[in-house]
Amino acid sequence: MTSQAAATIDRSVSVRLLDLRRTFDGGVEALAGITLDVAPGQFAAILGPSGCGKSTLLRLVAGLDRPTCGTVELHPPLDRRRFAYVFQDAHLLPWRNVLRNVALPLELAGIAQRQRQAAAVDALEQVGLAEVLRRYPAQLSGGMKMRVSLARALVTRPKLLLLDEPFAALDEITRQKLDQQLRDLWLAHRMTVLFVTHSTAEATFLADRAVVLSRRPARVVADLPIDLPQRRDALLRASPQFAAATKTIYQALERGGA
Ligand SMILES: Nc1ncnc2c1ncn2[C@@H]1O[C@H](COP(=O)(O)OP(=O)(O)OP(=O)(O)O)[C@@H](O)[C@H]1O
Ligand SMILES: [Mg+2]
> Is the confidence at residue 80, as pLDDT, over 90?
no
Mean pLDDT of 69-96: 88
pLDDT one-digit tens code per residue, 16-55: 999 999 999 999 999 999 999 999 999 999 999 999 999 9
* Closest-approaching ligand to the CA atom of 256: 1
Any ligand 1 atom below 6 A from CB of 30: yes
Side-by-side strand order, sheet with 14-23: 29-38, 14-23, 69-75
What percent of the chain has a predicted confidence (pLDDT) above 70? 95
Local confidence band at 67 (pLDDT 50, 70, 90 cut-offs): very high
Nearest CA to ligand 1 atom 12: 30
Q: How far is CA 53 from CA 34, 88, 193, 217, 231, in A?
A: 11, 15, 18, 7, 31
Torsion sign (Cα): 118, 122, 127, 133: positive
Write the single-letter amino acid at 217.
Answer: P
Q: Which CATH class is domain 11-78+159-258?
A: alpha beta
Give dist(CA 219, CA 196) in Å, integer.
Answer: 15
Q: Are 127 and 180 in contact (CB under 8 A)?
A: no
Q: Are 48 and 195 in contact (CB under 8 A)?
A: no
pLDDT one-digit tens code per residue, 186-230: 999 999 999 999 999 999 999 999 999 999 999 999 999 999 999
Any ligand 1 atom below 6 A from CB of 76: no
Residue-level pLDDT at 215: 95
Any ligand 1 atom below 6 A from CB of 42: no
Any ligand 1 atom below 6 A from CB of 51: yes
Residue 193's Cα: distance from chain center in Å?
Answer: 5
Q: How far is the CA of 204 from the centre of ligand 1 (A)?
A: 24
If one residue of 54, 58, 89 were mutated to test the ligand 1 pocket, choosing by the most ligand atoms within 8 A of its CB, it would be 54
Any ligand 1 atom below 6 A from CB of 55: yes
Give helix then strand counts, H and E, for the chain.
Answer: 8, 9
Element (H, E) at 35: strand 29-38
Residue-level pLDDT at 3: 46
This prediction's pTM:
0.93
